[in-house]
Each structure stands twice: as structure tokens, then as C-alpha cells.
């Protein structure tokens, strides 16, 4: 008689991540979630507090993963360009390791209720701040051109955040996260144009 490899709570959370990703938070019902796990709807509440609570856990776990990595990178004694490269690699790698959760993190966070919603926005702001700091230092050190810091950060993060879509729909070529990070870095750092 094999013991279950993961707890029922983890089963529920995994199924919820996938369902929130596929249908969105609002369109996901606790009844369908229960069916997916193989128990009655009421039984879910022996393992989780509420639908909203699952969303909160998924969103903040992802936020924490992004944060842990960027805070290791920020203190590395290397050039700003090297740090930016590492931050990009790390960001794509975190997404790659959590495809379902990433999709929820990027698309369903606005269904968070207060005060979680404000806390979430605050964390995201701090994360963006870390990227801006790297760009600022790179400009000061003469490694980067005199770009608009806010809009550059926006461009970088927009491109990176969208990769969850590439990683969950590996069309034709099965491209991996290192290759994606490498190629996006190249485009963002060196640009598309040939002449200068």
C-alpha cells in the first residue's frame, strides 16, 4: 500500500494552480477543484481556508522566489552588466520552474483582496526597484547607454514576464529556459540593429 507522495493539501494547491491558470481565478469553481482532486467539495475545507487563501499562497510563494534570487544577485561583486544578465537568467529560471504558478502570478494577482493586494503591489515595486538600481549603476559606470531607466526596466520585465507563455506552450522547437534567457538578453543588451 503506497503512501501518497504529496499531502492532500499539496494536491489541492497543485490542482488549483493549474485550474486558475487554465480558466482564471473567477471562473474556477471549488466544485470542479474538488472533482479534480477526487473528493467532495466540502472536504476541501479540511485542508484549505478558502479559495482566496489558495490564490494568496500561490502569488506570494512566487513573489518570494523572485525576491530570494534578486537579493542574492544585488550584492554580487561583479559588473552591472553581469548582474543584469544574472537577474535575467534567474527570472526566467524561476518562471520555468513554476509555469503554472507564474501564469497565476502574472494574470490573477488582481483578484487578491486587501490587504494582500496592496502588499503584493508593494513587493512587485520593490522587485522592479532592484532592476532599476542595476540599470542606474550600469549607466553611472559607463557600461550602459543613457537610456530611460523606468522604461528600460519596463521593457526588460515585460519581455521576461511573458516567457511563461513560451515555456508552457513549447511550440515546434522545445526551447529551454537557458536558451530563452540567453537570447532575450542578447536582444535587450545589443539590440536588433546591425549598424552601431
Contact letters for its own copies, residues 26-55 (x by CB under 8 A): xx----------------------------
Nearest to 21 by CA among 125, 114, 113, 111: 111
Q: CB-side exposure of 148: number of CA atoms within 13 Å? A: 4
Q: How far apart are CA 169 and CA 91, in angstroms?
A: 18
Whole-angstrom CA distances from 88 to 17, 45, 51, 81 are 24, 39, 32, 11
- Name which of residues 75 to 134 contact its own copies (CB under 8 A): 81, 84, 107, 110-111
Q: Select from DNA, its own copies, none the partner in contact with residue 192, using the beta carbon and a kind-dependent cut-off of 5 to 8 Å.
A: its own copies
Whole-angstrom CA distances from 10 to 13, 52, 155 are 5, 16, 35
Number of chain positions touching DNA (CB under 7 A): 17
Look at the alpha carbons of 55, 56, 57, 63 in this order and tell me if their dihedral is positive or negative: positive
Q: Select from DNA, its own copies, none the partner in contact with residue 115, using the beta carbon and a kind-dependent cut-off of 5 to 8 Å.
A: none
Binding site for its own copies (CB under 8 A): 23-24, 26-27, 81, 84, 107, 110-111, 135, 138, 142-145, 147-148, 151-152, 154-155, 158-159, 161-162, 166, 175, 180, 183-184, 186-196
Binding site for DNA (CB under 7 A): 8, 28-32, 39-43, 45-47, 50-52
Amino acid at each position: 500500500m503506497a503512501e501518497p507522495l504529496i499531502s492532500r493539501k499539496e494536491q489541492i494547491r497543485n490542482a488549483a494552480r493549474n485550474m486558475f491558470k487554465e480558466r482564471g481565478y473567477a471562473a474556477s469553481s471549488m466544485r470542479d477543484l474538488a472533482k479534480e482532486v477526487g473528493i467532495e467539495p466540502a472536504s476541501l475545507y479540511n485542508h484549505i481556508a478558502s479559495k482566496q487563501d489558495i490564490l494568496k499562497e500561490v502569488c506570494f510563494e512566487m513573489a518570494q522566489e523572485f525576491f530570494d534570487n534578486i537579493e542574492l544577485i544585488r550584492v554580487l561583486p561583479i559588473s552591472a552588466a553581469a548582474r543584469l544578465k544574472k537577474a535575467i537568467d534567474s527570472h526566467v529560471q524561476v518562471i520555468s520552474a513554476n509555469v503554472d504558478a507564474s501564469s497565476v502570478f502574472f494574470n490573477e494577482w488582481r483578484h487578491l483582496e486587501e490587504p494582500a493586494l496592496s502588499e503584493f503591489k508593494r513587493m512587485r515595486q520593490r522587485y522592479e526597484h532592484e532592476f532599476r538600481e542595476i540599470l542606474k549603476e550600469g549607466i553611472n559606470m559607463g557600461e550602459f547607454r543613457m537610456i530611460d531607466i523606468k522604461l528600460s526596466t519596463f521593457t526588460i520585465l515585460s519581455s521576461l514576464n511573458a516567457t511563461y507563455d513560451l515555456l508552457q506552450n513549447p511550440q515546434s522547437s522545445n526551447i529551454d529556459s537557458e536558451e530563452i534567457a540567453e537570447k532575450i538578453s542578447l536582444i535587450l543588451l545589443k539590440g536588433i540593429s546591425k549598424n552601431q
